[in-house]
Structure 1
């Protein structure tokens, strides 16, 4: 089994560009309603426009704030390079050592206020 998280966003293309830049990833689908973000051949994240229901109905409530209580956690083998790519992102907590996990972390906020954590390998 492999996780394939999907989050609701207000602007798929804006969020796609943000994630591709910050994660050093690429668009694997493209479009204004749905996107797949990949690194190499591995799907790491799906983006779905909040107000589009497609065949399954909406999965987010537009009246509620996005990002509340969700952390998207990505492990990277080059946290310094990820920090450079995140230069224009909203940084919640800059690179710091997490003594409990034994690695370094960078905490960011994406355009919809989701918490995005980039962590070095332990």
Structure 2
């Protein structure tokens, strides 16, 4: 498990490493609970500590400027602005389907897990 932790820290950013490593620790712990292991090896290894990250964001003025800016690919611009206004990540917008758009009392909602 220590080698896996070291490997993760060399391949991906710290907070992602922490998430992946905690998933593995949970799986090892679950194996112990199900009596697939004689010892809870997950207890021997400390988790990877997360670090605070500085999140960058666009100001209202910058978004307004982008709205006025020409773009060769209109669908790219519209998708980016949709992400800005819904606070959705690209990965969430990319997999969004029409069935996840809801209208309740004339207000549009995105309903997905």
What range is the shorter-chain TM-score in?
under 0.3
Larger RCO, structures 1/2 (Cα 8 Å, 6+ apart): 1
**Could you tell me the TM-score, scaled by structure 2's length?**
0.20
- Compare the two structures and name the one with the higher helix fraction: 2
- Compare the two structures and name the one with the higher strand fraction: 1
**Higher Cα Rg: structure 1 or 2?**
2
**Could you tell me the TM-score, scaled by structure 1's length?**
0.19
